[in-house]
Chain A
Amino acid sequence: MLFEPPIFAVAVLLLSATSAVQSGEPHAEFAKLHKELTTAKEPWQAIPWHVSLLEARAQAAKENKPVYMLCRAGHPLGCV
């Protein structure tokens, strides 16, 4: 329930269908857009990334695994 129309908009709805539509549409559209963008998940987000090479290396040594380093201009978890 994002961007619920304010109470006054509900009152306007009772008085004028036209103006109520004008008040409500942007809220509904923005709420939908907010949900789309903030709930969009990508596979890389499920990876348990480290941000320190030394910490990753220590954990890799404990688990007997190699280190996988992703290096970008701009932080890869930023993410641009």
Chain B
Amino acid sequence: MPVAVDQHIHRHKKDAEGELFAKVLKQANRGLDGYSQGVYLFTPDGKLLAFANTADAAGVRRLTQIALKKFEPNAAPIKLDDAKVAPVLPPPPEGGLVLDVTSKVLGGYDKTDKRIAHHINSLGRDHLWLRKDEADALAQGMLLDTVKQRLVRYHLIDNTRGEPPMWRVDEIKKLDLMLKAGKLAGSVHLETKTGERGYQAELLGTVETKDGKVTRLDLVAKGDYWGEGTFSRGAPKGRFPFAVAFSLADGDCATSKVPPQGARGNLKAYLK
């Protein structure tokens, strides 16, 4: 039964969800205050069957085989508390919009370097959340400043190799994005004070509405990125082409339920 969790979220949970997480980690000699990334297979009553920190397909297959050998499918069924499970993740704003965000480095990697081969076609995925008032304004042909700021600060980031730093307000050197007659167009210049990381891009897109609702929101940012973050090392040298695409999410898809990375730990600030 597959379940995906963010260690940062689960290690802070003090309820039954957090207790089960801690119980499984402990058996793998992992604590709640350290590095807990990996694949864990365990029985419904929480007994660890196998663990490894691997993302490699062959490694995962081996691990699964080890776990299945230990698993007893005919063991007596466990009795679980039928209490309603509290939501693990915060829901998107009621009446707002959820957009899928996909990013990609379009070139610049050294293709002869096998250590970074897996980065070449890597996609970054995230979600952009809009409040109801922002969605309503969009449906009326208005792009609020809060949307522009959120879009560039938390989503024009190179998240293709790991968790990247977000942009601070004072790192927005230029933000010119307009919505006119259903067309989005503009440009942006983001850069840290030291100049070691930045993004200069053009943006183009389309917004369509029907009966006062946004029915389509397609947007692409494309330009030159440079630099990397502590947890997103391995960027191409110098400036490299980088793009981010936005589109309305399929609300029924499990992956669309995951909050924006930039909202982690501070949803209120993200939605400000």
Chain A interfacial positions (CB closer than 8 Å to B): 2-4, 6, 26-27, 29-30, 33-34, 37-38, 40, 42, 45, 47-61, 63-80
With CB as the reference atom, state the residue of chain B lying closest to A52.
B88
Q: Determine chain B's interface SS by DSSP, over half rule.
A: mixed
Contact indicator A66/B41 (Cβ below 8 Å): yes
Report the minimal beta-carbon distance from A67 to chain B, rounded to whole angstroms.
5
Contact indicator B159/A71 (Cβ below 8 Å): no
**With contact pairs A52-B17, A71-B38 given, residues A37 and B245 touching in the complex (Cβ less than 8 Å):** yes
With CB as the reference atom, state the residue of chain A lying closest to B245.
A37
**With contact pairs A26-B202, A54-B17, A55-B85 given, residues A70 and B5 touching in the complex (Cβ less than 8 Å):** yes
Which A residues are CB-close (under 8 A) to B24?
69
Chain B interfacial positions (CB closer than 8 Å to A): 1-10, 16-17, 20-21, 24, 36-44, 46, 49, 64, 67-68, 71, 73-74, 77-78, 80, 85, 87-89, 100, 102-104, 123-127, 159-160, 162-164, 181, 183, 202, 204-206, 218-220, 222, 231, 243-245, 247, 254-255, 257-259, 261, 264
Choice from B5, B89, B123 contacting A40 with Cβ under 8 Å: B123
Choice from B37, B42, B88, B205 contacting A51 with Cβ under 8 Å: B88
Choice from B2, B49, B71, B73 contacting A70 with Cβ under 8 Å: B2
> Measured between alpha carbons, how far is A70 from B247 in the docked complex, in Å?
26
Contact indicator B159/A80 (Cβ below 8 Å): yes
**With contact pairs A47-B2, A51-B3, A77-B254 given, residues A37 and B183 touching in the complex (Cβ less than 8 Å):** no
Contact indicator B38/A33 (Cβ below 8 Å): no
